[in-house]
Structure 1
Amino acid sequence: MKRVLLPVLLVVAAAVMSGCVYEYTEQDGYRMAVINEGFPVPKNAYEVKAEDCTTVIAKSAKYKLKGIGDEEGTPPEDYLEEIQRWGWTELEDKRVGNVHYFEKKGKIMSLIIGPNIFDVFEMSDELEL
Protein backbone atom coordinates (compact mmCIF):
# COMPACT_ATOMS: atom_id res chain seq x y z
CA MET A 1 0.00 0.00 0.00
CA LYS A 2 2.81 2.42 0.88
CA ARG A 3 4.49 1.74 -2.47
CA VAL A 4 1.36 2.80 -4.33
CA LEU A 5 0.64 5.81 -2.13
CA LEU A 6 4.13 7.37 -2.37
CA PRO A 7 4.15 7.94 -6.16
CA VAL A 8 0.63 9.38 -6.01
CA LEU A 9 1.66 11.81 -3.27
CA LEU A 10 4.75 12.86 -5.25
CA VAL A 11 2.65 13.60 -8.35
CA VAL A 12 0.14 15.62 -6.32
CA ALA A 13 2.94 17.56 -4.59
CA ALA A 14 4.59 18.36 -7.93
CA ALA A 15 1.29 19.59 -9.36
CA VAL A 16 0.65 21.82 -6.35
CA MET A 17 4.16 23.28 -6.42
CA SER A 18 4.04 24.04 -10.13
CA GLY A 19 0.80 25.96 -9.59
CA CYS A 20 2.57 28.30 -7.14
CA VAL A 21 4.96 29.86 -9.65
CA TYR A 22 4.74 33.63 -9.60
CA GLU A 23 4.72 34.91 -13.18
CA TYR A 24 4.19 38.37 -14.62
CA THR A 25 0.86 38.99 -16.31
CA GLU A 26 -0.83 42.35 -16.80
CA GLN A 27 -4.20 40.78 -15.95
CA ASP A 28 -3.15 40.09 -12.34
CA GLY A 29 -3.04 43.81 -11.65
CA TYR A 30 -0.87 45.89 -9.35
CA ARG A 31 -0.54 46.80 -5.70
CA MET A 32 1.39 49.33 -3.62
CA ALA A 33 5.10 48.78 -3.08
CA VAL A 34 5.98 48.01 0.53
CA ILE A 35 8.34 51.00 0.65
CA ASN A 36 6.08 53.59 -0.99
CA GLU A 37 2.29 53.37 -1.07
CA GLY A 38 2.14 55.47 -4.22
CA PHE A 39 4.39 53.27 -6.39
CA PRO A 40 2.92 50.19 -8.11
CA VAL A 41 4.40 46.71 -8.26
CA PRO A 42 2.80 43.69 -9.93
CA LYS A 43 0.31 42.11 -7.55
CA ASN A 44 1.81 38.62 -7.79
CA ALA A 45 5.44 39.71 -7.19
CA TYR A 46 7.07 37.88 -4.30
CA GLU A 47 9.10 40.04 -1.91
CA VAL A 48 12.59 38.82 -1.02
CA LYS A 49 15.40 40.28 1.11
CA ALA A 50 16.05 43.83 -0.03
CA GLU A 51 19.37 45.56 -0.61
CA ASP A 52 20.87 47.61 2.20
CA CYS A 53 20.12 51.31 2.21
CA THR A 54 22.84 53.89 1.60
CA THR A 55 23.09 57.65 1.78
CA VAL A 56 21.31 57.96 -1.58
CA ILE A 57 18.81 55.12 -1.01
CA ALA A 58 16.28 55.80 1.74
CA LYS A 59 14.25 52.57 1.35
CA SER A 60 14.55 49.46 -0.78
CA ALA A 61 12.47 46.44 -1.77
CA LYS A 62 13.39 43.43 -3.92
CA TYR A 63 10.84 41.24 -5.68
CA LYS A 64 10.94 37.98 -7.61
CA LEU A 65 8.59 37.56 -10.53
CA LYS A 66 9.06 35.26 -13.49
CA GLY A 67 8.94 37.08 -16.82
CA ILE A 68 9.29 40.62 -15.43
CA GLY A 69 12.41 41.51 -17.39
CA ASP A 70 14.88 40.28 -19.95
CA GLU A 71 18.68 40.12 -19.95
CA GLU A 72 18.89 43.82 -20.89
CA GLY A 73 16.63 44.87 -18.03
CA THR A 74 13.74 45.92 -20.23
CA PRO A 75 10.51 46.12 -18.20
CA PRO A 76 7.15 45.20 -19.75
CA GLU A 77 5.64 48.21 -21.51
CA ASP A 78 2.32 47.83 -19.67
CA TYR A 79 4.16 48.02 -16.31
CA LEU A 80 5.74 51.33 -17.34
CA GLU A 81 2.29 52.56 -18.42
CA GLU A 82 0.84 51.54 -15.04
CA ILE A 83 3.55 53.48 -13.21
CA GLN A 84 2.56 56.54 -15.24
CA ARG A 85 -1.14 55.95 -14.47
CA TRP A 86 -0.21 56.13 -10.78
CA GLY A 87 1.12 59.65 -11.41
CA TRP A 88 4.86 58.98 -11.84
CA THR A 89 6.89 60.56 -14.62
CA GLU A 90 9.89 58.69 -15.94
CA LEU A 91 13.07 60.76 -16.01
CA GLU A 92 14.16 59.23 -19.30
CA ASP A 93 17.21 61.46 -19.62
CA LYS A 94 18.49 60.06 -16.29
CA ARG A 95 18.07 56.38 -17.27
CA VAL A 96 21.29 54.39 -17.10
CA GLY A 97 21.07 50.92 -18.65
CA ASN A 98 18.38 49.01 -16.77
CA VAL A 99 18.04 51.67 -14.03
CA HIS A 100 14.85 53.69 -14.49
CA TYR A 101 14.08 56.81 -12.42
CA PHE A 102 10.58 58.17 -11.76
CA GLU A 103 9.47 61.40 -10.09
CA LYS A 104 6.23 62.35 -8.38
CA LYS A 105 5.70 65.38 -6.12
CA GLY A 106 9.43 65.78 -5.51
CA LYS A 107 9.96 62.11 -4.59
CA ILE A 108 12.33 60.03 -6.74
CA MET A 109 11.92 56.27 -7.15
CA SER A 110 14.34 53.96 -8.94
CA LEU A 111 13.34 50.72 -10.65
CA ILE A 112 15.97 48.17 -11.62
CA ILE A 113 14.69 45.28 -13.72
CA GLY A 114 16.51 42.02 -14.31
CA PRO A 115 15.53 38.55 -15.49
CA ASN A 116 12.82 37.35 -13.08
CA ILE A 117 13.73 39.90 -10.39
CA PHE A 118 13.40 43.63 -9.79
CA ASP A 119 14.36 46.22 -7.18
CA VAL A 120 12.45 49.33 -6.16
CA PHE A 121 14.31 52.09 -4.35
CA GLU A 122 13.02 55.25 -2.76
CA MET A 123 15.85 57.67 -3.18
CA SER A 124 16.89 59.98 -0.38
CA ASP A 125 16.63 63.73 -0.67
CA GLU A 126 20.44 63.84 -0.92
CA LEU A 127 20.38 62.30 -4.41
CA GLU A 128 21.40 64.67 -7.16
CA LEU A 129 20.52 63.47 -10.65
Structure 2
Amino acid sequence: MRRNRWLLITMLLSVAVAILTGCGSNEPSWTAFEGAANAKTFPVPKEANKTERASKSSEIDYVRYTLPGIKENDDIPGPYLQEIAAWGWKEEASQSSGSQKVFLRDGQIVQLSVHDDFFTVLVPKDKKSTVNVKTIDTE
Protein backbone atom coordinates (compact mmCIF):
# COMPACT_ATOMS: atom_id res chain seq x y z
CA MET A 1 0.00 0.00 0.00
CA ARG A 2 2.82 2.42 0.92
CA ARG A 3 4.62 1.60 -2.28
CA ASN A 4 1.54 2.54 -4.34
CA ARG A 5 1.18 5.83 -2.47
CA TRP A 6 4.80 6.83 -3.21
CA LEU A 7 4.32 5.86 -6.82
CA LEU A 8 1.18 8.00 -7.03
CA ILE A 9 2.89 10.97 -5.35
CA THR A 10 5.89 10.68 -7.68
CA MET A 11 3.63 10.55 -10.73
CA LEU A 12 1.63 13.58 -9.58
CA LEU A 13 4.79 15.59 -8.93
CA SER A 14 6.16 14.63 -12.35
CA VAL A 15 2.96 15.75 -14.06
CA ALA A 16 2.94 19.02 -12.10
CA VAL A 17 6.55 19.78 -13.08
CA ALA A 18 5.80 18.98 -16.73
CA ILE A 19 2.76 21.28 -16.73
CA LEU A 20 4.63 24.14 -15.06
CA THR A 21 7.55 23.78 -17.46
CA GLY A 22 5.27 23.72 -20.48
CA CYS A 23 3.26 26.72 -19.32
CA GLY A 24 6.30 28.92 -18.82
CA SER A 25 6.37 32.11 -20.84
CA ASN A 26 8.42 32.10 -24.05
CA GLU A 27 8.30 35.89 -24.15
CA PRO A 28 11.40 37.78 -22.99
CA SER A 29 10.85 39.93 -19.90
CA TRP A 30 12.90 42.95 -21.14
CA THR A 31 13.90 43.85 -17.59
CA ALA A 32 17.61 43.01 -17.30
CA PHE A 33 20.36 43.91 -19.75
CA GLU A 34 24.13 43.60 -20.15
CA GLY A 35 26.67 44.84 -22.69
CA ALA A 36 26.96 42.96 -25.98
CA ALA A 37 30.01 40.75 -26.44
CA ASN A 38 31.26 42.88 -29.33
CA ALA A 39 30.06 46.30 -28.09
CA LYS A 40 30.05 46.50 -24.29
CA THR A 41 28.16 49.82 -24.38
CA PHE A 42 25.24 48.33 -26.37
CA PRO A 43 22.58 46.54 -24.30
CA VAL A 44 21.35 43.00 -24.93
CA PRO A 45 18.81 41.18 -22.76
CA LYS A 46 20.44 39.00 -20.08
CA GLU A 47 18.00 36.27 -21.13
CA ALA A 48 19.66 36.09 -24.55
CA ASN A 49 22.27 33.38 -25.11
CA LYS A 50 25.33 34.05 -27.25
CA THR A 51 25.53 31.26 -29.82
CA GLU A 52 28.01 32.49 -32.39
CA ARG A 53 30.64 35.17 -32.79
CA ALA A 54 32.45 36.01 -36.00
CA SER A 55 35.25 38.47 -35.37
CA LYS A 56 37.71 37.18 -37.95
CA SER A 57 36.19 39.28 -40.71
CA SER A 58 38.21 42.37 -41.50
CA GLU A 59 35.06 44.43 -42.04
CA ILE A 60 32.54 43.48 -39.38
CA ASP A 61 32.29 41.85 -35.95
CA TYR A 62 28.96 40.20 -35.24
CA VAL A 63 27.50 38.22 -32.39
CA ARG A 64 24.40 36.06 -32.70
CA TYR A 65 22.12 35.66 -29.68
CA THR A 66 19.19 33.28 -29.29
CA LEU A 67 16.11 34.75 -27.63
CA PRO A 68 12.95 32.64 -27.83
CA GLY A 69 9.86 34.74 -28.43
CA ILE A 70 11.44 37.50 -30.52
CA LYS A 71 10.06 37.63 -34.08
CA GLU A 72 11.36 39.16 -37.29
CA ASN A 73 7.92 40.32 -38.43
CA ASP A 74 7.20 42.14 -35.16
CA ASP A 75 8.65 45.51 -34.27
CA ILE A 76 11.58 45.52 -31.87
CA PRO A 77 9.84 45.69 -28.47
CA GLY A 78 9.44 49.19 -27.00
CA PRO A 79 11.15 48.33 -23.68
CA TYR A 80 14.25 47.18 -25.58
CA LEU A 81 14.33 50.33 -27.73
CA GLN A 82 13.93 52.42 -24.57
CA GLU A 83 16.85 50.62 -22.94
CA ILE A 84 19.01 51.16 -26.02
CA ALA A 85 18.19 54.89 -25.87
CA ALA A 86 18.87 54.95 -22.10
CA TRP A 87 22.37 53.61 -22.82
CA GLY A 88 22.94 56.62 -25.07
CA TRP A 89 22.32 55.12 -28.51
CA LYS A 90 20.33 57.00 -31.16
CA GLU A 91 18.60 55.24 -34.04
CA GLU A 92 19.71 56.23 -37.55
CA ALA A 93 16.25 56.11 -39.11
CA SER A 94 17.55 56.72 -42.63
CA GLN A 95 19.54 53.47 -42.47
CA SER A 96 16.99 51.44 -40.47
CA SER A 97 14.13 49.39 -41.88
CA GLY A 98 11.75 46.89 -40.31
CA SER A 99 13.64 44.40 -38.19
CA GLN A 100 17.03 45.92 -39.13
CA LYS A 101 17.96 48.93 -36.98
CA VAL A 102 21.13 51.00 -37.05
CA PHE A 103 22.23 52.88 -33.92
CA LEU A 104 24.92 55.51 -33.42
CA ARG A 105 26.77 56.60 -30.27
CA ASP A 106 29.97 58.63 -30.08
CA GLY A 107 30.85 57.84 -33.69
CA GLN A 108 30.36 54.09 -33.24
CA ILE A 109 27.74 52.26 -35.27
CA VAL A 110 25.86 49.12 -34.22
CA GLN A 111 23.36 47.28 -36.38
CA LEU A 112 20.67 45.21 -34.66
CA SER A 113 19.13 42.56 -36.90
CA VAL A 114 16.13 40.63 -35.55
CA HIS A 115 15.06 37.21 -36.83
CA ASP A 116 12.69 34.56 -35.49
CA ASP A 117 14.01 33.49 -32.06
CA PHE A 118 17.42 35.12 -32.51
CA PHE A 119 19.08 38.44 -33.23
CA THR A 120 22.52 39.66 -34.23
CA VAL A 121 24.54 42.64 -33.09
CA LEU A 122 26.86 43.79 -35.89
CA VAL A 123 29.70 46.27 -35.43
CA PRO A 124 31.72 47.59 -38.39
CA LYS A 125 35.46 47.36 -37.66
CA ASP A 126 36.70 49.81 -40.25
CA LYS A 127 35.77 53.50 -39.83
CA LYS A 128 35.17 53.68 -43.61
CA SER A 129 32.41 51.09 -43.30
CA THR A 130 30.55 53.23 -40.74
CA VAL A 131 29.65 55.73 -43.44
CA ASN A 132 27.32 53.44 -45.42
CA VAL A 133 26.14 50.57 -43.25
CA LYS A 134 23.95 48.25 -45.30
CA THR A 135 21.77 45.35 -44.25
CA ILE A 136 23.76 42.17 -43.79
CA ASP A 137 21.90 38.87 -43.81
CA THR A 138 23.60 36.31 -41.54
CA GLU A 139 21.53 33.29 -42.55
TM-score range, shorter chain: 0.7 to 0.9
**How many corresponding residue pairs?**
126
Structure 2 counterpart of 1:33: 36
Structure 1 counterpart of 2:99: 98
List gaps (5 residues or longer) in structure 1.
Answer: none
List gaps (5 residues or longer) in structure 2.
Answer: 133-139
Structure 2 counterpart of 1:60: 62
Structure 2 counterpart of 1:24: 28
Measured in 1, the distance between the counterparts of 2:103 and 2:46 equals 20
Cα RMSD after superposing both structures:
2.9
Q: Conserved in 2, the CA contact under 8 Å of 1:73 and 1:115? A: no
Measured in 2, the distance between the counterparts of 1:66 and 1:77 equals 17
Q: What amino acid does structure 2 have at the position aligned with 1:98?
A: S
Structure 1 counterpart of 2:46: 43
Measured in 2, the distance between the counterparts of 1:56 and 1:83 equals 24
Measured in 2, the distance between the counterparts of 1:88 and 1:32 equals 13
Taking structure 1 as the reference length, the TM-score comes to: 0.76
Aligned residues: percent identity? 28
